[in-house]
């Protein structure tokens, strides 16, 4: 249960897609002065050392964020890519790409006084690192040593009635796919106006392939709920059935600007992160 450590995967192509979307959602929420919450069901440790043992062992950031980093001064960058790189630059110095922000750090450095970040993490090592990372933060961040799926019940709806729920389990156990759908089925009626960002891996597993359709069907059961589905595939699937060849983000109640931002950014990411001629993207949305 506690074998997954995101530090092995920090800054890979899946993180690029996931965090590019999250930055856009948070930027949209910031347009109004009214406070909001960001709730992260599987927070991880918050910040990752790309020169550390885990990241160096996997080398996944080399084919992910490191491919984008040299382009950060390019004035022709897609808006969403530039916004992500600006947030990554916030925790690095000069030209060196030494650190990569997890979703808690990205949210923390974007939120204002009065906004709130609630983080759930069960992995004992990750939880300890997360607590130390935010140890000097006295207000605005709450950390729970609790299963994030179950913990949402105590958070929704958030008092401001505005917020982002980020659902990002490791999917090491195929039961995670079922729990994503079940959690949303229970939580959406409680906070039907909230934005939900669900990340999932593209792997050779039936549950992964079925999840987007299950989420579309679930959203379709509620009136006036829009959704957006984006995928980024970087390579051919391994014939052995192992490994991550892409990932997807399913957004319920997406910002109205998100489709155009991703329509601009995803082809650029295929060009710069694609590893073979199977690299591709998809983007679809439904408005009610």
Domain coordinates in residue numbering, the chain: 6-286
Reply yes or no on whether the pLDDT at 56 is more than 80.
no
Of 91, 132, 134, 100, give the one whose Cα is nearest residue 116.
Answer: 134
Tell me the pLDDT band of 7, cut-offs 50, 70 and 90.
low
DSSP-assigned states of every residue in 193-232: TSEEEEEEEE-S-HHHHHHHHHHHHHHHTSTT--EEEEEE
Work out the angle at residue 272's Cα, subtended by the Cα atoms of residues 63 and 241, and round it to the nearest 5 degrees. 55
Q: Is 175 a catalytic residue?
A: no
Distance (Å, whole) CA 57 – CA 8 = 7
Distance (Å, whole) CA 30 – CA 11 = 25
Reply yes or no on whether the pLDDT at 224 is more than 80.
no
Pairing of strands 280-286, 227-233: antiparallel
| Inter-residue contact 68 to 19 (CB < 8 Å) | no
Pairing of strands 141-144, 116-120: parallel
pLDDT in tens, 160-198: 999 999 999 999 888 999 999 999 999 999 999 999 999
pLDDT recorded at residue 256: 96
Reply yes or no on whether the pLDDT at 57 is more than 80.
no
Q: What homologous superfamily does CATH list for 6-286?
A: Vaccinia Virus protein VP39 (3.40.50.150)
Tell me the pLDDT band of 47, cut-offs 50, 70 and 90.
very high
pLDDT recorded at residue 223: 80
pLDDT recorded at residue 287: 87
pLDDT recorded at residue 4: 53
Tell me the pLDDT band of 285, cut-offs 50, 70 and 90.
very high
pTM score, whole prediction: 0.95
| Inter-residue contact 235 to 276 (CB < 8 Å) | yes
Note the helical H segments in the chain.
13-29, 53-58, 65-68, 79-89, 103-110, 124-133, 148-151, 175-187, 206-220, 258-273
pLDDT recorded at residue 55: 64
pLDDT recorded at residue 165: 98
What is the average pLDDT across 239-249? 88
State the catalytic residue, choosing from 15, 168, 226, 260. 168
CA quadruple 74, 79, 83, 84: dihedral positive or negative?
A: negative
Exposed/middle/buried for residue 20 (C-beta within 10 Å: 0-12, 13-18, 19+) = buried
pLDDT in tens, 76-117: 999 999 999 999 999 999 899 999 999 999 999 999 999 999
């Amino acid at each position: 249960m506690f074998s997954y450590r995101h530090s092995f995967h920090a800054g890979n192509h899946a993180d690029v897609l996931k965090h590019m979307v999250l930055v856009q959602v948070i930027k949209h929420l910031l347009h109004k002065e009214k406070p909001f919450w960001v709730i992260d069901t599987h927070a991880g440790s918050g910040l990752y050392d790309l020169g550390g043992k885990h990241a160096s062992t996997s080398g996944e950031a080399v084919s992910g964020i490191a491919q984008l980093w040299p382009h950060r001064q390019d004035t022709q960058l897609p808006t969403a890519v530039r916004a992500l790189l600006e947030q990554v630059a916030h925790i690095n110095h000069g030209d060196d790409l030494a650190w990569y922000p997890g979703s808690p750090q990205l949210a923390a450095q974007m939120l204002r006084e009065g906004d709130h970040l609630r983080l759930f993490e069960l992995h004992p090592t990750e939880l300890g690192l997360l607590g130390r990372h935010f140890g000097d933060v006295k207000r605005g961040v709450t950390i729970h040593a609790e299963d994030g799926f179950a913990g949402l019940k105590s958070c929704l709806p958030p008092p401001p009635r505005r917020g982002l729920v980020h659902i990002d389990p490791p999917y090491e156990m195929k039961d995670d796919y079922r729990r994503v759908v079940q959690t949303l089925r229970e939580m959406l009626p409680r906070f039907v106006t909230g934005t939900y960002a669900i990340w999932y891996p593209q792997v050779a597993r039936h549950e992964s392939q079925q999840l987007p359709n299950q989420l579309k069907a679930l959203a379709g059961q509620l009136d006036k709920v829009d959704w957006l589905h984006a995928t980024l595939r970087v390579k051919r699937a391994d014939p052995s059935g192992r490994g991550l060849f892409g990932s997807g983000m399913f957004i319920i109640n997406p910002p109205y600007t998100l489709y155009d931002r991703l329509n601009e950014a995803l082809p650029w990411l295929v060009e710069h992160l694609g590893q073979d001629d199977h690299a591709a993207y998809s983007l679809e949305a439904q408005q009610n």
